[in-house]
Structure 1
Amino acid sequence: MNTLASEQIALVTGATSGIGKVTARELVRRGYHIILLARDAAKAARVRQEFQQLAASGQRVDVLLCDLSDLSQVRRAAEEFIQRYHRLDVLVNNAGLIFGKQRETSADGYEMTLATNYLGPFLLTSLLLPALERSEAARIVNVASDGYRLAKPKLHDLNQEENYSAWRQYGNTKLYNILFTQELARQLRARGISHVVTNSLHPGVVASGFGSASGGLTSWLTGLAAPLLLTPDEGARTSIFLATDPIGGQVSGGYFAKEQAQPVKHAFTDPAKTRQLWQETERLVGQEFFGA
């Protein structure tokens, strides 16, 4: 597939609803060639059609189907992307869910929140790094959450086989997103890769469908609180800021909320623990991030 050298290419995960859809829509309006990574083909086709009507003449909106919880699908999608586009300028790892009271496992046997929110995005970013490196100035934007404050991670049990809690695991994965961002920024700098930056963010507490998969009390509480929550348009602002604003290209390893850098306060942010998390993640996804 031919893409104009001057056209910015962006891939957004979880791009068919909530803040992912708003992020992708605004990038379309800014002239980006958007690839919507989504699980549901019919839903993705509807969103693609909607966005194509916003696009300028010759501007493309494409779909890449992938369930991020399934690592074999992540590998296939990344391979397809590299073959079709070669280069990537912006990667927005937006997809995220909280699952239910009962612990569920992915196709690979991993706990579903961990697989969807963290392992899949980690592997996808690793596999797309060659395409990001071909950009003159690439950005990786990881949507995390202040829910990281709930995290009580155990490096020996990332899969949370002991004492499963849906909200605790959600908080854990959001902390992992932040630590992944910090460690990736450090490793990129150590390798002299200065034209690829990465930042994470808290979108605010957004009224979107992310809690609906959990069912029961979580869904009920999410619905009850909806009038107090941000709209997806409000929640997407920091993602769009980090993807497009000049400041987003000058910082790497930061954590942002309301378009401002924020400190990350958690006992687990020790560099040694962060590196251990990185190594354990590589083991779980079955590959070194920067390739052997």
Structure 2
Amino acid sequence: MPSVSAVPPSTPSSRDSVVAALRTAGCVFAEDEAELILATARTPAEAAAMVERRVAGLPLELVVGWAEFRGLRIAVAPGVFVPRRRTEFLVEQALEQAPERAPGARVVVDLCCGSGAVGAALAAALGPVELHAADIDPAAVRCARGNIAAVGGQVHRGDLFAALPLALRGRVDILAANVPYVPSDEIGLLPQEARDHEPLVALDGGTDGLDVLRRVAAEAPRWLAPGGCVLVETSRHQASTAVATLERHGLATRLAVSEELYAHVVIGIRP
């Protein structure tokens, strides 16, 4: 499994047959996908096997074994949530909000970490940090350990805050929680790649999509340092309820929106 690294530039390669196969299978960005497959495969046989898996419907990131996230190559594996480009906006907001600390003194937590992309990106941007990531899904934990270890972090398995070391209480400067927020009855409306290849626990947020967010909001104030922030991705129609939820737990709350990425991030700051 590849580790976190800068994404290298692609090298020119003959790709007509790969592009043709991908186009026939209905891949909209066949040229770009062909370039990634050919740049990743170590042998022609491996490239052919990758094309076969992609044509069969496996997400491209799982075919090549990695996803690009804020310029990093994040390893992904079957059964693990693939990081989305819109979640880069959450990282940007966290970096803007990060309280001033001495080098190495910041404490960062990536909750519901999946592959660990958010934590890895924060550590790469901030420099030395005390980084912890957690997820309830064993497949996600295995995958995240490779990505997080590459930036000096630790990964814990368990249900939200129960997975974290108690010594972190009251010390967390950045708590990034990319919680599941799709309402249960809307799971069937997701793209087939998500429905068929990503774990339900990483997608299903309960009746209104906010069940996990409510649990994070209730516990976050006890874990944040003074001036620390919690950031949670949500959807446009859930945003006002999500803001009110964090406010009810004593956090100074605001909503950040990126129209370009169609991203909505609720930010709560401990006074």
Q: Which has the higher strand share?
A: 2
- In proportion to residue count, which structure has more helix? 1
Q: Whose radius of gyration is greater, 1 or 2?
A: 2
Range into which the TM-score falls when normalised by the shorter chain? 0.3 to 0.5
